[in-house]
C-alpha cells in the first residue's frame, strides 16, 4: 500500500475509533480559544481547562485582558507554567486585537500571525476550531510523535511535518486529523509504552504491520 492510500486508511480507522474527537480546550468563542491555546504551551489541556472558567469570568473580552494589571494576570495563570511569558503574549495579542481588529479575533492566518505570541500552531488551532477554516495541520508533540512513528513523515520540525501532512490528508480533514492523532496518542499510542495489541491501526503502522 502506498503512503497516500495508507494515510487515508489510517484516517478512516481513526474516525471510527474516535467519532467524538474534537478540540479538548474548552472555549465559548475565538478569544477564549486563543487564550487557552497560548496557556496550553508546556501545559496539559486538563490543567488549562481548570484555570480558564474563572479566568474568562474575570476577563470577559480582549479589552479586559489587554488592561490586566501588572502581576495580576500572571498570578491568575501561574499554575499553567511560564506564566510571565504567557501573560505578556496574552496582553500583547489582546491589545492588538482591540487596536487593530475592533476587539474581535481576526480569522486569517496572516492577521493571526501578527499577534504577539501567536505562531502557526496557535493560528491553526484558532482557525480550524473557532472559525472552521482549514489552513493547516496543528503539529503538537502527539502529532509529531505519531506521524513519525506511523511513517507518514521523517521530518522533525513542526513546519516540515505540517507540509508533509497537508499533502497526504484531505484539506477538509486537516483540523480533525490533529484531534484524531492527539486522542490516539493519549488513549493507545503512548510515547514510552504504546499498546500496539489494542491499536485499531496496527496493521497500517510500520512498527507492527506495514513494512
Cβ proximity of 181 and 188 under 8 Å? no
Which listed residue (61, 140, 163, 207) is catalytic?
Answer: 140
CB count in 10 Å sphere of residue 20: 6
Q: Take residue 113 and report the three cell numbers written for it.
A: 500571525
| DSSP codes, 69-133 | PTTHHHHHTGGGS-HHHHHHHHHHHHHHHHHHHTTS---SHHHHHTSTT--HHHHHHHHHHHS--
- Inter-residue contact 126 to 30 (CB < 8 Å): yes
| Nearest-angstrom CA–CA distance, 94 and 86 | 12
140 is catalytic: yes
Q: Cβ distance 204 to 150 under 8 Å?
A: yes
The residue annotated as part of the active site, out of 121, 133, 173, 207, is 121
**What sign has the CA pseudo-torsion 157, 182, 163, 12?**
positive
Distance between the two ends of the chain, CA-based, in angstroms? 10
Q: Where are the alpha helices (DSSP H) in 18-71?
A: 30-39, 45-58, 62-66
Active site positions, annotated: 121, 140
Amino acid at each position: 500500500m502506498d503512503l497516500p492510500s495508507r494515510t487515508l486508511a489510517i484516517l478512516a480507522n481513526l474516525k471510527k475509533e474516535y467519532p467524538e474527537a474534537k478540540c479538548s480546550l474548552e472555549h465559548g468563542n475565538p478569544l477564549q480559544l486563543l487564550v487557552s491555546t497560548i496557556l496550553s504551551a508546556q501545559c496539559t489541556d486538563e490543567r488549562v481547562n481548570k484555570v480558564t472558567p474563572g479566568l474568562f469570568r474575570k476577563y470577559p473580552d480582549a479589552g479586559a485582558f489587554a488592561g490586566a494589571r501588572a502581576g495580576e494576570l500572571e498570578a491568575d495563570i501561574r499554575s499553567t507554567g511560564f506564566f510571565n511569558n504567557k501573560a505578556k503574549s496574552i496582553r500583547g495579542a489582546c491589545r492588538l486585537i482591540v487596536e487593530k481588529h475592533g476587539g474581535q479575533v481576526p480569522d486569517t492566518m496572516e492577521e493571526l500571525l501578527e499577534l504577539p505570541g501567536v505562531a502557526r500552531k496557535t493560528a491553526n488551532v484558532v482557525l480550524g476550531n473557532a472559525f472552521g477554516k482549514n489552513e493547516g495541520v496543528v503539529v503538537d508533540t502527539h502529532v509529531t510523535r505519531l506521524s513519525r512513528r506511523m511513517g507518514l513523515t521523517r521530518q522533525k520540525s513542526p513546519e516540515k511535518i505540517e507540509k508533509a501532512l497537508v499533502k497526504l490528508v484531505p484539506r477538509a480533514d486537516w483540523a480533525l486529523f490533529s484531534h484524531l492523532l492527539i486522542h490516539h496518542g493519549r488513549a493507545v499510542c503512548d510515547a514510552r509504552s504504546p499498546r500496539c495489541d489494542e491499536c485499531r491501526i496496527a496493521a497500517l503502522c510500520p512498527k507492527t504491520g506495514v513494512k
